[in-house]
Structure 1
């Protein structure tokens, strides 16, 4: 009726069997780690391929992302301010910008995007908005 399991009392065979099982488990984990590293590497290549490289040069017009507007979002407020003129491009995507008053400051290149309009047309638009508010 009752089936009893046969106990292996040979400690040498039992310990070697257990060590083999642990080694197989370690090999399995190492193989899975290599697969995940390969997956991450392939996903990074795919992601980097989709990123547009922005080549900035001095005298380009750019817009600057205003991250403080996230705290107080307005329905129709733009998060981009500017345009600013690029005066110098540093390594590692740092950029020196100049505003229309001539003040220069450095920003991270990830916070800017190319402005496609004319600098003079922006000044005219600002003047029109100022007249409308009065």
Structure 2
């Protein structure tokens, strides 16, 4: 039995033409799989980019608006509870393509990229704080 299988394997290997055709078919199949994977990856990239771009919010600043400036240098030596936003600054001028000129009482006017800014919202001021004692609340009927 062993002899017959060995002989059959030898016969297959001696037929070089059919072995070459088989190898060529395998190479074409591999190339097709590679192209399908490439197409799938490019489709995935395009969809991911479209999804990401749709969620980017455009920031537009007007003169006189208060903004906070992102301090990127704190990334190197971050304090655990330290805020990375400094300000508030006031917008003095806006330029095309997103650059903004801002100033503060401490700093002269300087240009920054608009991506490093976010609007500063001043909260509502409370005129007079109200004091409430817990003892008074617990005694009331």
Per the normalisation by structure 1, the TM-score is: 0.73
Moved more, 16-25 or 88-97: 88-97
Aligned-residue CA RMSD (Å): 2.3
Name 2:19's counterpart in structure 1.
14
**What CA distance in whole angstroms lies between the structure 2 residues aligned with 1:57 and 1:100?**
19
Query: Where does structure 1 lack aligned partners over 5 or more consecutive residues?
Result: 122-134
Per the normalisation by structure 2, the TM-score is: 0.70
**What CA distance in whole angstroms lies between the structure 2 residues aligned with 1:65 and 1:86?**
15
**What CA distance in whole angstroms lies between the structure 1 residues aligned with 2:73 and 2:103?**
20
Q: Larger Cα Rg: Structure 1 or Structure 2?
A: 2
**What CA distance in whole angstroms lies between the structure 2 residues aligned with 1:75 and 1:19?**
62
Map 1:64-103 to 2 at 5 A: 64-101=69-106, 103=108
Structure 1 residue 77 displacement after superposition: 2.4
- Number of aligned pairs? 119
Query: Where does structure 2 lack aligned partners over 5 or more consecutive residues?
Result: 126-141
